Amino acid sequence: MLANARYYATRDPLGTAGDFITAPEISQMFGEMIGLWLADIWARAGGPVDAAYVELGPGRGTLAADALRAMGHAGCRPSVHLVETSPTLRAAQAGVVPGATFYDSVASLPADVPLMIVANEFFDALPVRQFLRTEAGWRERMVMNDRAEWGRRFLPILGDDDCRAALQPQLGDAGQGSVVETCPAAMDVMAALSARLRVQGGVILAIDYGYAGPATGDSVQAVQAHRFADPFVDPGERDLTAHVDFTPLAAAAAGLTVSPLATQGAFLTRIGIRARADALARRNPAAQQVVHEALDRLIGPAKMGQLFKVMAARHNDWPQPEGFG
Ligand code: SAH
């Protein structure tokens, strides 16, 4: 947690000159499609005039700027609320999303209006816990903080405490040597937002590199300059991520209606990204190739289309969202 807090606080990691690139930085189409998706469900929910746009970890603010522009064209002009802990990225967001209000955590978001919440590559930046099935049972494993022992790096906590209760029950019998991850921070955020949405109305759209568990495996990765890097070297200087398990995330959305998980490719295709790409290419023929390459990166099965998943959860009275089949 400290490593990523330092990492994000001290730089803008996005883009070709940075460490990694995200969907909204690939093309304006991504944010625009999300904006149109929000405007559509908002209109069918009766178009509440006091609705708020909320984004978690908005990076450079690109998604918010593109989404809000598209929403405005569709007659939806919400107030804007950004949950961001990095001062560097807050400054970037303020520059492209004028009038936004900033928050350190979801706890202080407005409590009396419907919320339209977007989280793209946010949950994967939150810290995970890892558990190892040892001979003696499940033990949490921790990072070694002893240079002499760095070769070993992860060490299961000694003692008699079995951590089986911290795992999804189906994983309790996984074989010796299995690793299981949990993300309590993500559960806390989802539970807090669900409590709000149940009372205030609205919807959350979460997009991340992830899967529908239960599944075993160590998914912690570090990325630096667009390459995989050693997660144990230079803490705070490399982006740490873990794949998002959408099964417990959906379970944490208690009291909401959760749509079946969609791949990013299927979701964007169903809500019309091809038509948007064609329109952009028609308007600017010189950019045709760039637009279609970006489209392929976003929806191509070998690119982001299959690995990234989209989850929507909404107040039970809000209409069924587009894009989930
Ligand atoms: N959504 C953006 C950026 C993804 S990077 C995009 O798609 O381009 C992760 C973002 O989450 C960064 O903005 C980072 O500063 C922010 N972040 C990470 N941990 C956070 C936390 N605990 N609370 C709020 N924001 C956080």
pLDDT in tens, the chain (325 residues): 788 999 999 999 998 889 999 999 999 999 999 999 999 999 999 999 999 999 999 999 999 999 999 999 999 999 999 999 999 999 999 999 999 999 999 999 999 999 999 999 999 999 999 999 999 999 999 887 776 665 567 777 777 789 999 999 999 999 999 999 999 999 999 999 999 999 999 999 999 999 999 999 999 999 999 999 988 888 899 999 999 999 999 999 999 999 999 999 999 999 999 999 999 999 999 999 999 999 999 999 999 999 999 999 999 999 999 999 9
Instruction: Give 3-state DSSP helix, strand, coil % of the chain, rounded to 5.
Output: 40, 25, 40
Q: How far is the CA of 283 from the centre of ligand 1 (A)?
A: 33
Amino acid making up residue 31: G
Measuring from atom 14 of ligand 1, which residue has the nearest CA? 57
- 200: which residues sit within 8 A by CB, 6+ positions away? 111, 112, 113, 114, 115, 315
Q: How far is the CA of 89 from the centre of ligand 1 (A)?
A: 9
Can you give the pTM of this predicted structure?
A: 0.97
Tokens 């099935």 correspond to 133
Q: How far is the CA of 242 from the centre of ligand 1 (A)?
A: 13
Helices 28-44 & 62-73 angle (0-180, nearest 10): 50
Q: CA 22, 96, 300: angle at the middle one, nearest 5?
A: 25
Neighbours of 234 (CB within 10 A): 13
Measuring from atom 26 of ligand 1, which residue has the nearest CA? 57
Hey, what are 206's tokens?
A: 């979460």
Atom of ligand 1 nearest to the CA of 126: 19
Helix (H) or strand (E) holding 65: helix 62-73
Q: How far is the CA of 151 from the centre of ligand 1 (A)?
A: 31
- Per this entry, what is the length of the chain? 325
Atom of ligand 1 nearest to the CA of 119: 1
- Pocket of ligand 1 contains residue 25 by CB under 6 Å: yes
How far apart (Å, rounded) are the C-alpha atoms in residues 315 and 321? 11
